[in-house]
Amino acid sequence: MARRTKSSRSARPALTARTADRHRLYQLAVQEPDAELDFVARTFSRLRGRPAVTLREDFCGTALSACAWVKRRATHRAVGVDLCADTLAWGTTHNVAALTPEQQSRVRLVRRDVRSPNATCRGTDVVLAMNFSYWTFKTREGLVAYFRSVRSSLGKGGIFFLDHYGGYEAFKEIEERRRLKGFTYVWDQASYNPITGDKTCHIHFEFKDGTRLRKAFTYEWRLWTLPEIQELLHESGFKHVHVYWEGDDGKGGGNGIFRPTRRGEACACHVSYLSAHD
Ligand SMILES: C[S@@+](CC[C@H](N)C(=O)[O-])C[C@H]1O[C@@H](n2cnc3c(N)ncnc32)[C@H](O)[C@@H]1O
């Protein structure tokens, strides 16, 4: 890549709500495909004694992880599954198109409900359901139906990876702001109903010129707890379910290293990974 000179850097227009691209900002603020895929590849190899080759990214949105997967190795193949045609189109134009033609030949995007995978979506080593997207299924029956369909569509020796967040702050109606290059990311836990577990969250983006992109994304979720998710994975037929808890950075935060354990901590906010397999 050509080095950018100081003048070209300063010539780049400042971000503003009118011109900002919400998918680009989401990827910058929320996603870390390399760290996630490092964890997935390492854990799969540990559990199976062989590397994972094929990956399905459920709720793929712009398919950033599916594209990152095919970039990692020439043998890797990926399929991204999402219902939203516009988001898939954005991913095709920006993420798939940025791959080499050879890498592009190893990734497929499928517009489909994750609960009814077609032949293209079946038989992979790994199925990913990240950024809590499976919380869209609000009933035990609905979530079990999804988990069962993942289990029956995995390839031989396949492993399902998902993430989870919890801690007492997850139940609060609060906003969290994070300053990033050129914009502020706002995570808005707008409402939580303790009777149903329904939770509405928004992502807003704010810019240095005072403009804002309110409700750039909205999620209508059920706030599931970690014990419930483990029970429902077992109920769906998975024989082995592991929780990977994040280590401590010594300053009250996480260190990005996730290890399997049966002992967590009652902290304000925790993100963990789970694996489920036979
Ligand atoms: C939070 S985004 C996830 C984006 C990305 N995978 C990530 O990890 O950040 C949730 C995505 O799930 C998709 N979605 C919701 N319900 C779905 C379903 N039943 N089947 C397929 N996709 C679905 C939405 O269209 C949206 O793009």
pLDDT digits (tens, 9 = 90+) for 174-224: 999 999 999 999 999 999 999 999 999 999 999 999 999 999 999 999 999
Q: Is 83 in the pocket of ligand 1 (CB under 6 A)?
A: yes
Reduce the DSSP state of residue 254 to 3 states and report it: strand
Q: How many whole angstroms from 157 Cα to the centroid of ligand 1? A: 25
User: What is the architecture of the domain spanning 22-166+225-277?
Assistant: 3-Layer(aba) Sandwich (3.40)
Between the CA of 78 and the centroid of ligand 1 the distance, in Å, is: 16
Distance of CA 112 to the CA centre of its chain: 17
Q: Does residue 278 register a pLDDT over 70?
A: yes
pLDDT for residue 229 is more than 70: yes
Percent of the chain with pLDDT over 90: 94
Domain ranges of the chain: 22-166+225-277, 169-220
Ligand 1 centroid – CA 48 distance (Å): 28
Contact 138, 132 (CB under 8 A): no
SS (H, E, C) 37-74: HHHHHHHHHHHHCCCCCEEEEECCCCCHHHHHHHHHCC
> Which residue minimizes the CA distance to atom 15 of ligand 1?
59
Q: Could you tell me the pTM of the whole model?
A: 0.95
H helix and E strand count, the chain? 8, 12
Average pLDDT over residues 86-107: 98
Cα 108 to middle of ligand 1, angstroms: 16
pLDDT in tens, 120-168: 999 999 999 999 999 999 999 999 999 999 999 999 999 999 999 999 9
Give the residue whose CA is nearest to atom 27 of ligand 1.
61
- Mean pLDDT of the region 27-32: 96
User: Does the C-beta of 110 come closer than 6 Å to ligand 1?
Assistant: no
Phi and psi based region of residue 191 (left: phi greater than 0; alpha: psi -120 to 50; beta: remaining): beta
Residue nearest to atom 19 of ligand 1 (CA): 113
